């Protein structure tokens, strides 16, 4: 095999291998980008689910707090009435 043939074959092979590699590299890049996007999407979904769960927890806590507040208001009203009666009794006893 003469030198010129060798050089031509080497150049053709080099160009061919470069072409193959460029194609494979581009495919790998696209796949990596897609994977990255999928990962970020799954992160967003996880974050959204976490937020939803937290909102539900906070809503339940708010309902509980409302219930407790109502009970406390009732108790205060009851005590105020009792207090008023007791004061009146004390006044009656004092005036005797």
Site for other proteins, rule CB under 8 A: 1, 3, 5-7, 9-10, 12-14, 16-18, 20-21, 24-25, 28-29, 32, 35-36
| Residue number, 25 or 64, with CB nearest to other proteins | 25
| Residue number, 13 or 83, with CB nearest to other proteins | 13
CB of residue 43 vs other proteins: minimum separation in angstroms?
12
CB of residue 40 vs other proteins: minimum separation in angstroms?
10
- In angstroms, rounded to a whole number, what is the distance separating the alpha carbons of residues 31 and 1? 42
3-state secondary structure the chain: CCHHHHHHHHHHHHHHHHHHHHHHHHHHHHHHHHHHHHHHHHHHHHHHHHHHHHHHHHHHHHHHHHHHHHHHHHHHHHHHHHHHHHHHHHHHHHHC
| Residue number, 22 or 63, with CB nearest to other proteins | 22
CB of residue 65 vs other proteins: minimum separation in angstroms?
42
């Amino acid at each position: 095999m003469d030198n010129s043939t060798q050089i031509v074959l080497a150049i053709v092979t080099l160009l061919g291998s470069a072409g193959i590699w460029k194609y494979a590299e581009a495919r790998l890049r696209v796949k990596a980008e897609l994977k990255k996007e999928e990962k970020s999407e799954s992160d967003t979904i996880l974050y959204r689910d976490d937020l939803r769960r937290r909102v539900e927890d906070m809503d339940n806590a708010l309902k509980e707090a409302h219930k407790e507040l109502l009970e406390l208001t009732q108790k205060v009203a009851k005590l105020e009435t009792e207090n008023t009666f007791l004061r009146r009794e004390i006044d009656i006893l004092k005036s005797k």
